Structure 1
Amino acid sequence: MRIIDLSSPIDASAYEPDPVGHEVLSPREGALHMSAEMREHFGLEFDPDVLPDGEFLSLDRLTLTSHTGTHVDAPSHYGSRAGYGDGVPRHVDQLPLEWFHRPGLVLDVARDEAGVIGAADLEKEFARIGRRPEPQDIVLLRTGASAWAGTARYFTDFVGLDGPAVHLLLDAGVRVIGTDAFSLDAPFPTILRRWQATGDPAVLWPAHVAGRDREYCQVERLANLEALPPYGFRVVCFPVRLVGAGAGWTRAVALLDE
């Protein structure tokens, strides 16, 4: 079995609208920290210099959002109410793990300019690859945006799905839709210009809003989708179990039989 990494890194040196903070305590600093913790919490004195090389363990402290890097959006991210079930959308720690280890399907929706992908565009892709999604397949959208990861362009130059395109996939029984772009919706400037031109609220983040009435998850900020065949692989994208959170990071991979 071959494993293909589909995850983008969390890198404090890369451009992010919400910058990542990454503080590293070296093994020496970790020794001093441990010594101070023993004194404060247990009243024990410990000389860190008796440790081999005077070092203990390194420690990383990070400040970031749950939408930094490759992550799974949970239904509670889309809004405070659900038009299904008991009316309360589930958080990321409440979702069935079975959703996140399923056969995958890659659709090439790359465009030269930022914009919106509709249901007709998806139908053309189904015809091109000779396959439609089956219930609970994980559908991945290759927009090409991952080429700009780590730069400001990554957040403005990509394509996203409109409402009918999302519903087409959900009607097929898809529970998880992934993209190598910043968002499953079109870029913020594209959406706002469409709304200013039409006055139609249906163009305002339709992929996310669709999740208020139909339970599904998005996997955003994937990478390396160009390394995959259109189908014939499995996707594994279990989200980190963040209690009460609207999203959780994932180390997404594809599994291909050799």
Structure 2
Amino acid sequence: MRFIDLSSPVDASSFEPDPVGHEVLTPREGAAHMSAEMREHFGVEFDPNELPDGEFLSLDRMTLTTHTGTHVDAPSHYGSRASYGTGIPRHIDEMPLDWFFRPAVVLDLTGHDTGAVGADELNKEFDRIGHRPEPLDIVLLHTGAPRRAGTREYFTDFVGLDGPAVHLLLDLGVRVIGTDAFSLDAPFGDILARYRRTNDRSVLWPAHFVGRDREYCQIERLANLDALPSPYGFRVACFPVKITEGGAGWARAVAMVDD
């Protein structure tokens, strides 16, 4: 079995609309920190110079949103109320784990310009590859967006899905839809331009707002989808970090391909 990393990094040196803060305490600084923590919380005095080389452990402190890097959006990300079930959407720590370890299908959307792809285009891609997802399969969208990773254009020039396209996938039983773009919806600028032209609220982030009526999760900011050897016949693991009442959780998405 071969593993293919489908995750993009959390990188404080790259451009992000919500900047990432990353502070690293060296092993020497970590020893001093440990000594201070022992004194404050446990009343124990310890001289860090007694440690080998005066070092203990490094320590990373980060400031970032749960939507940085590869992450899974929970139903609660789409709104505070839902029209299904109890009416209260689930947070990321409440989602069933079996949604996130499944056979997967990757669809090639690299031939499309910035904007939203509809259901007709997805059907054409299913016909091209000769395969449709089974219930609970994970569907991945290869848009080519990672070639702009680390730049402002990564957040402004990419392809998303419209509402009917998302409904099509959910009708097939898909519950996890992933994309290598910044968002499963079209870029903000594209959405707002269409809204100003039409005054039609249905063009406002439809892929996300579908989640208020139908429970599903998105994986955003995937990577390396072009490394998958075939459109289907592989499995994906993308377990989200368990953040209590979180609207999203970071994930190390990995494809498993049989040799």
TM-score (normalised: structure 2): 0.98
**Counterpart for residue 135 of structure 2:** 135
Matched with 2:242 is 241
Q: How far apart in 1 are the matches of 2:113 and 2:171? A: 28
User: 1:240 is matched by which residue type in structure 2?
Assistant: V
Residues of 1 paired with 2:99 and 2:92: CA distance?
Answer: 12
Q: Report the counterpart of residue 53 of structure 2 in structure 1.
A: 53
Q: What is the match of residue 147 of structure 1?
A: 147
Give the TM-score normalised by structure 1: 0.99
> 1:96-148: CA deviations, max 9, x gaps?
00000000000001135311100010011001100011100100000000111
CA distance in 2, matches of 1:230, 1:76: 30
Give me the whole-angstrom Cα distance separating, in 2, the residues matched to 1:98 and 1:159: 28
Aligned partners of 1:67, 1:159: CA distance in 2, in Å?
A: 18
* Count of residue pairs the alignment pairs up: 258
The one-letter amino acid of 1:247's match is: A
What are the equivalent positions in structure 2 for 1:12-51 lying under 5 Å apart?
A: 12-51=12-51
Deviation readout 1:206-225 (Å, 9 max, x if unpaired): 00000000000000000000
Asked if structure 2 preserves the Cα contact closer than 8 Å seen for 1:111 and 1:159, the reply is: no
**What per-residue deviation string (whole Å, max 9, x for no partner) do you get for residues 7-52 of structure 1?**
0000000000000000000000001111111222222221111101
**Residues 1:180 and 2:168 aligned together:** no
CA RMSD in angstroms, aligned pairs only: 0.7
Conserved 8 A contact 2:195-2:201: yes
2:235 and 2:257 in contact (8 A); partners too:
yes
Show the 5 A alignment for 1:205-216.
205-216=205-216
Q: 2:70·2:219 contact (CA, 8 Å) conserved in 1?
A: yes
Separation in 2, partners of 1:37, 1:194 = 54
1:107 aligned partner, one-letter code: L
Partners of 2:110 and 2:62 in 1: CA distance: 33
Encode CA deviations 1:193-237: one digit per residue, 9 max, x unaligned.
011111111100000000000000000000000011100100100
Identity %: 74
4+ runs deviating over 2 angstroms: none
Counterpart-to-counterpart distance in 2, 1:169 and 1:35: 54
| Map of 2:257 onto structure 1 | 256
Question: Which residue pairs with 1:163 in the alignment?
Answer: 163
Amino acid at match of 1:206: P
Distance 1:131 1:112, change over 3 A: closer
Once residues 61 and 234 of structure 1 are traced to their aligned partners in structure 2, the CA distance between those partners, rounded to angstroms, is 33
Specify the code of the residue in structure 2 equivalent to 1:36. Answer: A
- Letter of the aligned partner of 1:234 in structure 2? R
